Amino acid sequence: MAASIRLLARRIVRDASRTINSSVSGRIVSSSCPSNLSACRCFSDGAADKSTHFGFETVSEGEKAERVYKVFESVAQKYDVMNDAMSLGVHRLWKDMLLHVMNPQPGICLLDVAGGTGDISFRFLDYVRSQRERVARRTARANQTPSWQEISTSYTTPTEGIEMETEARESRAVVCDINKEMLKVGKQKAESMGISSGLSWVVGDAEELPFDDDQFDVYTIAFGIRNVTHIDLALQEAVRVLKPGGRFMCLEFSKVTNPLLARLYDAYSFQMIPVLGEVIAGDWKSYQYLVESIRKFPDQETFKQMIEDAGLFSVRYHNLTGGVVALHSGFKL
């Protein structure tokens, strides 16, 4: 409830500011939102006048948001299959690397933005469960042949309360995505995998997250931030919802560092990926956009600077597969 009120307040302030600015120039701004995007941001005519890129096209900001929504609405059912086909399965290794670098411990709360089909959240819950089981096995082995000192300590140390606290510190993941079709596919995957506890699904915009401040230990966004209209706003929202000490992690396509690999990658991307999109998903244009959007995304150093400008510290990045993908990470202090 509090989060909804704060979200509404931010929208009122933003829209009022746009109205004032437009009135000064002698124009009246009216707010409108496409009826088929129940979870979208409401764009004013002033926003529609501002241009941005949709792949290699120049479009209004409002049009980009609508078209990106339609892209993922169109590809949702074949999204995971296409990820395997386009990357030859390597995307699984990239996502595993994200979890390896994150190294989440039991009790961590994750926000997975643009998490659609749930790949990151599923890995997160599985990783944490493995960590808990590893600790349990180590404890069991230690208790099999306790020394007399350990027996003596067990009688004097209140371990019961510690065990209860550990059990109570359940990790949870929140998948947040603006696209209902992507979330629908993610929920179906979770049901088929038997995952129910510790996982929730929320319709929300990366630029205006429906959560209170200082709520999450880790914020992840994998292959989603390049589709956001205002990347700076998405980064500011990430900082806002992270707890002090929380970690921001972004996995995204980036700039290939090796010239030979870059030429091969470009040839494969523009000549093969749209064809795979047509054959597997019946959608050439959506995958043509996805290829073009990668080329419009900032390079590793530029994006690193954007993350720092948003207020995160100790920002670093790791190039994966020669820079085809980069993993950026930073902390909120």
User: Cβ atoms within 10 A of the Cβ of 84, count?
Assistant: 13
Q: How confident is the model at residue 98 (pLDDT cuts 50, 70, 90)?
A: very high
Residue 320 has pLDDT above 90, yes or no: yes
Q: Which helix (H) or strand (E) holds 200?
A: strand 199-203
Residue 184 has pLDDT above 70, yes or no: yes
Least confident of 41-55, 87-101, 195-209, 253-267: 41-55
Residue 132 has pLDDT above 80, yes or no: yes
Question: Which residues are known binding-site members?
Answer: 117, 177, 205-206
pLDDT, average across residues 178-191: 95
pLDDT at 2: 54
DSSP-assigned letters across all residues of 278-296: IIIIS-HHHHHHHHHHHHH
- Letter string b/e over residues 104-128, b meaning 16 or more CB atoms within 10 A of that residue's CB: beeebbbbbbbbbbbbbbbbbbebb
User: Cβ atoms within 10 A of the Cβ of 171, count?
Assistant: 22
Angle, vertex CA 196, rays to CA 195 and CA 202, nearest 5:
110
Specify burial of residue 302 (Cβ count, 10 A radius: 0-12, 13-18, 19+): exposed
Render pLDDT for 231-263 as a digit per residue (tens, 0 to 9).
999 999 999 999 999 999 999 999 999 999 999
- The structure tokens listed for 255 are 């700039």
In whole angstroms, what is the distance from residue 8 CA to residue 146 CA?
58
DSSP-assigned letters across all residues of 73-113: HHHGGGHHHHHHHHHTTHHHHHHHHHHHHH---TT-EEEEE
pLDDT at 148: 64
Of the candidates 307, 325, 193, 173, the one whose C-alpha atom is nearest the C-alpha of residue 239 is 307
Q: How confident is the model at residue 65 (pLDDT cuts 50, 70, 90)?
A: confident
Residue 291 has pLDDT above 60, yes or no: yes
pLDDT at 10: 63
pLDDT, average across residues 83-94: 93
Residue 54 has pLDDT above 70, yes or no: yes
Residue 284 has pLDDT above 50, yes or no: yes
Residue 28 has pLDDT above 50, yes or no: no
- Residue 319 sits at φ, ψ, to 5 deg, of -80, 135
The amino acid that residue 304 corresponds to is K
pLDDT at 33: 30
pLDDT at 99: 97
Q: What is the mean pLDDT of the chain?
A: 83
User: Cβ atoms within 10 A of the Cβ of 260, count?
Assistant: 9
- Residue 312 sits at φ, ψ, to 5 deg, of -95, 155
Residue 161 has pLDDT above 60, yes or no: no
Name the residue with tokens 């493995």: 130
- Comparing 303 with 138, the larger pLDDT belongs to 303
pLDDT, average across residues 94-103: 97
Q: Pinpoint the alpha helices (H) of the chain.
A: 2-24, 45-49, 61-75, 79-87, 90-102, 119-144, 148-156, 159-168, 180-193, 231-241, 259-276, 284-296, 300-309
Of the candidates 247, 222, 237, 115, the one whose C-alpha atom is nearest the C-alpha of residue 173 is 115
pLDDT at 168: 47
Cα distances from 25 to residues 11, 13, 17, 60, 230, in angstroms, run 21, 19, 13, 19, 23
pLDDT at 48: 47
**71-85, 160-174, 180-194 — most confident range:** 180-194
In whole angstroms, what is the distance from residue 207 CA to residue 39 CA?
12
* CA torsion through residues 86, 266, 272, 284, sign: positive
In whole angstroms, what is the distance from residue 48 CA to residue 290 CA?
22
Secondary-structure class of domain 53-125+169-332 per CATH? alpha beta
Render pLDDT for 39-51 as a digit per residue (tens, 0 to 9).
444 444 444 468 8
Question: Which residues are known binding-site members for S-adenosyl-L-methionine?
Answer: 117, 177, 205-206
pLDDT at 162: 40
Residue 149 has pLDDT above 70, yes or no: no
pLDDT at 237: 98
In whole angstroms, what is the distance from residue 38 CA to residue 18 CA?
22
- Comparing 329 with 51, the larger pLDDT belongs to 329
pLDDT, average across residues 61-89: 87
pLDDT at 170: 85
Can you give the residue ranges of every domain in the chain?
A: 53-125+169-332
